[in-house]
Amino acid sequence: MDPVFILHQTVCGAIAAAGFGVLFNIGFRSLGWCALTGGVALAVRTMGLEQGWSLEAASFVAALVVGGTVRLLAAYADVTENTLDVAGCIPMVPGSFAAKAILGFLALTSPALTDATAVLSEAVQFTLRVMFTIGAIGTGLAVPTLLLRVRVRRPTKLI
């Protein structure tokens, strides 16, 4: 594992997440929390990819770590947990695969198409990778929410 590459991915994830925090109208004081979650997300995903994991598996584990981190640090941030989750994980969305899928489907309408089966197969493959990666991110964020949920016991009424 190249520590410089992991540091690069961490910084880029932090900048991207803080940028999405600005788009989500998060207060200036809370942008650091967004940067933290984005940096953690891309660092964990990059380490998973460096270990040979698939994009989907690495994204799941990264989202799981981000979700757990946000749940444990929620008392310190002035932002809702869901906002930090989303802002931190948006940099992991595979935009390149989504663009390739869309361009592949658009290429099917070309009048000079030579091998439609190969183009369709590639476009479907990219679409599935995007869908499974986004599903893995969503599942990874949901697991800590379900496991670390605070359960309030209501008193039972005596008749």
pLDDT at 15: 96
Percent of the chain with pLDDT over 90: 72
Two tokens, residue 149: 């949920």
For the chain, give the mean pLDDT. 91
pTM for this model (two decimals): 0.87
**89 neighbors 144 (Cβ within 8 angstroms):** no
Instruction: Write down how long the chain is.
Output: 159
CA distance 32 to 77: 9
pLDDT at 30: 87
